[in-house]
């Protein structure tokens, strides 16, 4: 796994559990130069040590709390200071909450972690991604949970008036797909592809960050249908590595194949509205154009 005789540099959010961990271990076995962005540094360092013990290149571990925009900015700056082009940015981390939480920045936490954080992180790291073009990739782990909603519900996007766990989570995953479409259009001429995926029902630690009952209930209800984390990581790995998708951008994948998402995930007007809203909320203007 190399470009210009150097290992691919792959930045991964949420690499210490579930499909993120499975992705990291697989990419390390393929010889990638990994940078981990972790909420828990201890777990990140333990995974890095595991990779080194298996003969892999030592990953860089950087602390990042996706519920804090200042932490996202600091982590992005630490990545930039590595002075390495980014061949693949894998936005993998996510959260699901049983009740409404508000971040230190004043945003509903599910939307903040699942959408605002990767939106800001991707924008801040975009110069390093573009350094690896042509051929650089951005991969966003979305979800079939966007089926739960029929749009972004901009009139209550922060869930201040109505909080339903699966609606809120589904809306954040819809945001991932709309973001993917918008960014792919803006990077069309930049030699950078942007795609997203549904990993399937995977036994992961999502929702356990706060000891959420929803994670326990989900695990019990869905256990018979769960894929292993490695199986769930297959599409992420495919989008990170396969030559088959080198020319595809702006698509939604399921089981390593392009799949059309629900119509509200192809709403370009909503995608632009979300883009403008996101820039305003995170206080960042993207350094990209459609040309």
Domains in the chain, CATH or no CATH each: 2-282 (3.40.50.720)
Residue 237 has pLDDT above 70, yes or no: yes
Q: Is 252 a catalytic residue?
A: no
Residue 160 has pLDDT above 50, yes or no: yes
How confident is the model over 42-52, as a mean pLDDT?
97
Identify the active-site residue in 163, 169, 238, 277: 169
Name the residue among 151, 92, 139, 94 with its Cα closest to residue 271.
151
Whole-angstrom distance, CA of residue 183 vs CA of residue 129: 13
Name the residue among 117, 92, 98, 94 with its Cα closest to residue 107.
117
How confident is the model over 164-193, as a mean pLDDT?
95
> What is the predicted pLDDT for the residue at 214?
59
Q: Is the dihedral of CA 100, 125, 180, 48 positive or negative?
A: negative
How confident is the model over 32-54, as a mean pLDDT?
97
DSSP H helical segments within 132-233, as ranges? 165-186, 213-222, 229-232
Please, which pLDDT band fits residue 16 given cuts at 50, 70 and 90? very high
How confident is the model over 175-191, as a mean pLDDT?
96
Query: Quick count: other Cβ atoms within 10 Å of Cβ 224?
Result: 7
Whole-angstrom distance, CA of residue 92 vs CA of residue 214: 20
% of the chain beyond a pLDDT of 70: 86
Q: Are 146 and 174 in contact (CB under 8 A)?
A: yes
How confident is the model over 76-92, as a mean pLDDT?
98
> What is the predicted pLDDT for the residue at 226?
53
Give tens-digit pLDDT for 209-236. Answer: 445 555 555 555 555 445 566 777 899 9
> What is the predicted pLDDT for the residue at 221?
52
Name the residue among 90, 62, 87 with its Cα closest to residue 76.
62
Query: Which position has the higher pLDDT, 182 or 205?
Result: 182
In the chain, the N- to C-terminal Cα span, in Å, equals 30
């Amino acid at each position: 796994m190399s470009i210009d005789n150097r290992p691919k540099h792959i930045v991964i959010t949420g690499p210490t559990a579930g499909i993120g961990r499975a992705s990291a271990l697989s990419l390390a076995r393929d010889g990638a130069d990994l940078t981990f962005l972790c909420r828990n540094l201890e777990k990140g360092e333990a995974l890095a040590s595991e990779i080194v013990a298996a003969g892999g290149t030592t990953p860089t571990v950087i602390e990042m709390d996706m519920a804090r925009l200042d932490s996202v900015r600091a982590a992005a700056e630490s990545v930039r200071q590595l002075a390495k082009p980014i061949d693949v940015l894998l936005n993998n981390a996510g959260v699901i909450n049983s009740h409404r939480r508000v971040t230190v920045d004043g945003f509903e936490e599910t939307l903040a972690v699942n959408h605002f954080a990767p939106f800001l992180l991707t924008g801040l790291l975009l110069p390093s991604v573009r350094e690896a073009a042509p051929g650089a990739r951005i991969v966003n782990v979305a979800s079939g949970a966007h089926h739960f909603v029929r749009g972004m519900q901009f009139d209550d996007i922060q869930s201040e008036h109505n909080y339903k766990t699966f609606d809120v989570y589904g809306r954040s995953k819809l945001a991932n797909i709309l973001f993917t479409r918008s960014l792919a259009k803006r990077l069309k001429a930049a030699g950078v592809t942007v795609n997203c995926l549904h990993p399937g029902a995977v036994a992961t630690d999502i929702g356990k960050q706060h000891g959420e009952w929803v994670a326990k209930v989900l695990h019990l209800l869905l256990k018979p249908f769960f894929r292993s984390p490695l199986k769930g990581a297959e599409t992420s790995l495919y989008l990170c590595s396969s030559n088959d998708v080198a020319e595809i951008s702006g698509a939604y994948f399921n089981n390593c194949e392009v799949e059309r998402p629900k119509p509200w995930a192809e709403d370009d007007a909503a995608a632009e509205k979300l883009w403008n809203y996101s820039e305003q909320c995170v206080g960042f203007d993207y350094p990209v154009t459609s040309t």
